[in-house]
Structure 1
Amino acid sequence: MESGHPNLEKLYERLTIEEEEEEDSGIIVGAVEEQEKKRAMQNVLASLWRPKEGMGVHNIAGYRYSFVFYHILDLRKVIEGGPWSFEQNMLVYHHIQNEEDPGQVALNEMEIWVQVHDILRGFISESILTSVGNFVGKYVKSNPANFDGTWRQYVRVRVRLDVQRPLKRRMKIKREGGSWNWINFKYERMGNFCFVCGIIGHT
């Protein structure tokens, strides 16, 4: 685990060489509202992510950190396995692309699995779940198990949320000529958010 102030020039120099030779490393930039507990945050996230090739954590400014992964599989596991949190504070992160500036990229979206409860069996289709996902946020994908024919209490869709917007709690749907039905949403592994306004990041 790396600590202290980052030497970003050396860091990016190393990554450029590795990417040209093997294309197996990368950086994500994240923000978490626990600046005073940096060492504890590093240890907790490292224990959750367990990167096989290690990682570097550097404070860029304020609540913003860079997380450097030296193998593409470690990077993918973190990106696809989120959301992540530290002491119930959500880590909002972005995978740095090409010439993006880690200190300037917007950190206002996060991917999360959403459980869709009370949905009638006749509504469980890819097109309807895509519409549901786009109502909640931006649809990313459905859980393949949604369509295996097994009865479940809920189905799951993965969406990209704007953390500055209130969470959607339910949605009213119906088929043509049918009656209205409410479906309800539960957000998996959600950290702090306000139960009054639904905004992520404060209580």
Structure 2
Amino acid sequence: MKSIMANLWHPVKGVRICDLGEKRYSFQFFHAMDVNKVLKDSPWTFNNHFLVLYKLELGEDPLQIPLVLTPFWVQIYNIPIGLFSDILAVQLGNFLGNFMEHDVSSLGKGNRNFMRIRVQIDIRYPLKRRKKISFGGKCSYVNFKYERLSLFCFYCGRLGHNDSFCEERMNLGVEIAEMGWDLSLRAQSRRSLEMNSIWLREEGDGDNGGTNAESGNLRKG
């Protein structure tokens, strides 16, 4: 575990990792930029399980800190045209958990037909799948997809286990149970969404001396 996480993070000044027991570890970084980068790029996983990170303050006992909050980038689909706004981003973020930020860097380009927000989620509760919104006397449902979503339960919707090891399902006492969650909650990787063709021009790009060509009008010589 130590070597794997150190190689994933590759901190410039290094990291010291200690097993504290009770499925807890301490990660000691030696430069603020290293720890900030790790926190900024979270969530992280090890063996398909989430690492819930917490930045300790002076005097805090790492064995007493409740590790229940983790940030996620969430993609929100099926938002009606004209409703994309910072206000809606905050409202939906606080519905999911605690709103952190709204990514508007490339909205409307490529495949960005969705809203992307970062939220802090309490892992003790089921992942939210959708939300009903009202506009202009009409109603619509928006759907949520979570980036870097690893192990979660299709029965109870919680992180950290699958339906074969779900205590809630076991307490139900049945072999076959209806699954309310599925892989549709898992978003495509950000890299695959942002892969645009180098030959593709977006609306508003300059001509830069380009030549328009119509079918059948290309000639040689």
Aligned counterpart for 1:78 among listed residues 38, 41, 47: 38
d(CA) in 1 for partners of 2:76, 2:105: 13
Unaligned runs of 5+ in 1: 1-40
d(CA) in 1 for partners of 2:133, 2:152: 26
Q: Does 1:199 align with 2:158?
A: yes
d(CA) in 2 for partners of 1:71, 1:109: 24
d(CA) in 2 for partners of 1:99, 1:74: 21
Cross-structure match for 2:119: 159
Cross-structure match for 2:144: 185
Unaligned runs of 5+ in 2: 163-221
Cross-structure match for 1:90: 50
d(CA) in 1 for partners of 2:59, 2:155: 39
Bigger Rg over Cα: 2
Length-normalised TM-score, structure 1: 0.76
- 151-160 or 45-54, larger mean C-alpha shift: 151-160
Shift of 1:96: 0.5
What is the one-letter code of the residue matched to 1:181? S
SS at match of 2:13: coil
SS at match of 2:158: coil
> Any runs of at least 4 consecutive aligned residues in structure 1 with deviations exceeding 6 A, and if so which?
none
Greater relative CO (CA pairs within 8 A, separation 6+): 1
Length-normalised TM-score, structure 2: 0.70
Cross-structure match for 2:66: 106
Shift of 1:149: 5.1
| Aligned-residue CA RMSD (Å) | 1.4
Q: Show the 5 A alignment for 1:1-203.
A: 41-145=1-105, 148=107, 150=109, 152-175=112-135, 177-203=136-162
User: How many correspondences in the alignment?
Assistant: 161
Larger relative helix fraction: 1
Percent identity reads 39
